[in-house]
Amino acid sequence: MCDHRLTTRPPTRSVSEPALISPPTVDPVIAARDLSKRYGPLLAVDGASFEVQRGEIFGLLGPNGAGKTTTVEMLEGLTVPSSGTAEVLGFDIVQQPDAVKTRIGVQLQASSYHRYLTLREILQLFGSFYPRAASPDDLLERVGLSDRADARIEHLSGGLQQRFSIVAAMVNEPELVFFDEPTAGLDPDARRQLWTLVRDVRDEGRTVVMTTHYMEEAELLCDRVAFMDSGRIAALDTPQALIRTLHAPYRVRLTTTEPLDPRAVEGIEGASAVECAHEADGFVTRLRAQHAPGAAAALTALADGLGVTAVDLAVEPATLEDVFLAVTGRGLED
């Protein structure tokens, strides 16, 4: 059985080097300049600068503890920056926090609602806090909860509670909506339903800022993403541009009836991160390569030359996870 593994990682980009940053916009909804937040000796956010364009879904992507939530809390007026400045919808977040709060919607990672009020009553209560408010019944209809209007939050499943938290953030008809890890803890079906709701919010003409540590979620939903690592913005652009600019390698996987010699696989031009393992479907060889067609052809030719039968060949394009590893030198789970 082949258990050889190369441990070499893709080339890393130091977060102290200039990040990949998309150009500024003329009329940004959010303009942050050198935002920092310190809690005693901990520098949770370290000089974050970025802009959010009107009508886009903008993602802050990174592992737990990267500074995503602290960054959005400063933009929401919930936390005062230690240094730096930011304007949200033209208002200074420190000098005019109340003006910001009346025009944004916020869905937090963990929300607590009055357990004895119905969904309709909760929305009525929240709406009373603002100069203008949407109809509770209209809001519930938007997310398919009309039949639960008289139910209490504790009687909803986790997925339905997340749906309600999104609509609760819309009660004041905000121009800008913040979603903090909106699908955390949900099963795959519930996550996909929430993705549709997030797109719907954007399609209504609103701007969305969301934090997530799910690479697939950011790649599918976000018009642009900012990688956060250790409190800093490591890279920022569209998902496609990040993948293209950093030349993240393709993944090539070949399943065979017998193991391949890892030293021979390592000899394939352009191959890196070679892994061999005996799995349920057979002997699996994985590698990464910038030029996938050539690597795939060389790998199958190697198997054929050794008289080994190929069972399955798969080529997967690079993902944001590959880019994050290339930029920071570590994965989301590190």
Mean per-residue pLDDT for 125-140? 92
The burial of 27, by beta-carbon neighbours within 10 Å (0-12 exposed, 13-18 middle, 19 or more buried), is given as: exposed
- Please tell me the number of Cα atoms within 13 Å of 138 on its side-chain side: 8
> pTM score, two decimals?
0.80
- Percent of the chain residues topping a pLDDT of 90: 64
pLDDT, one tens digit per residue, over 8-37 is 333 333 333 334 444 444 579 999 999 999
Asked whether the CA dihedral 109, 185, 134, 105 is positive or negative, the reply is positive
Whether the predicted pLDDT of 3 surpasses 70: no
The reported pLDDT for the residue numbered 8 is 32
Given phi > 0 = left and psi -120 to 50 = alpha, else beta, which region is 247? left
pLDDT, one tens digit per residue, over 160-216 is 888 899 889 999 999 999 999 888 888 888 889 889 999 999 999 999 999 998 888
Whether the predicted pLDDT of 90 surpasses 90: yes
pLDDT averaged over every residue in the chain: 87
List the structure tokens of 251.
């993944």
d(Cα 71, Cα 61) in Å, to the nearest integer? Answer: 12
User: Would the CATH topology of 30-244 be identical to that of 249-317?
Assistant: no
Whether the predicted pLDDT of 57 surpasses 70: yes
pLDDT, one tens digit per residue, over 139-152 is 999 888 999 999 99
State the CATH architecture for 30-244: 3-Layer(aba) Sandwich (3.40)
Mean per-residue pLDDT for 240-244? 88
Mean per-residue pLDDT for 246-266? 89
Q: What is the dihedral of CA 190, 194, 196, 201, to 10 degrees?
A: 160
The reported pLDDT for the residue numbered 148 is 93
pLDDT, one tens digit per residue, over 31-46 is 999 999 999 999 999 9
Give me the residue spans of the domains in the chain.
30-244, 249-317
- Which residues are CB-neighbours of 325 under 8 A, at least 6 positions away? 9, 10, 12, 331
Q: To 5 degrees, how large is the angle CA 308–CA 312–CA 313?
A: 100
Helix (H) or strand (E) holding 282: strand 282-289
Residue 225 · residue 239 · CB < 8 Å? yes
More confident residue, 268 or 20: 268
Closest CA to 56 of 254, 199, 227: 199
The reported pLDDT for the residue numbered 15 is 34
The reported pLDDT for the residue numbered 333 is 62
Topology of the domain covering 249-317: Alpha-Beta Plaits (3.30.70)
3-class state of residue 292 by DSSP = helix
3-class state of residue 141 by DSSP = helix
More confident residue, 34 or 324: 34
Window from 24-38, 93-107, 320-334 with minimum mean pLDDT: 320-334
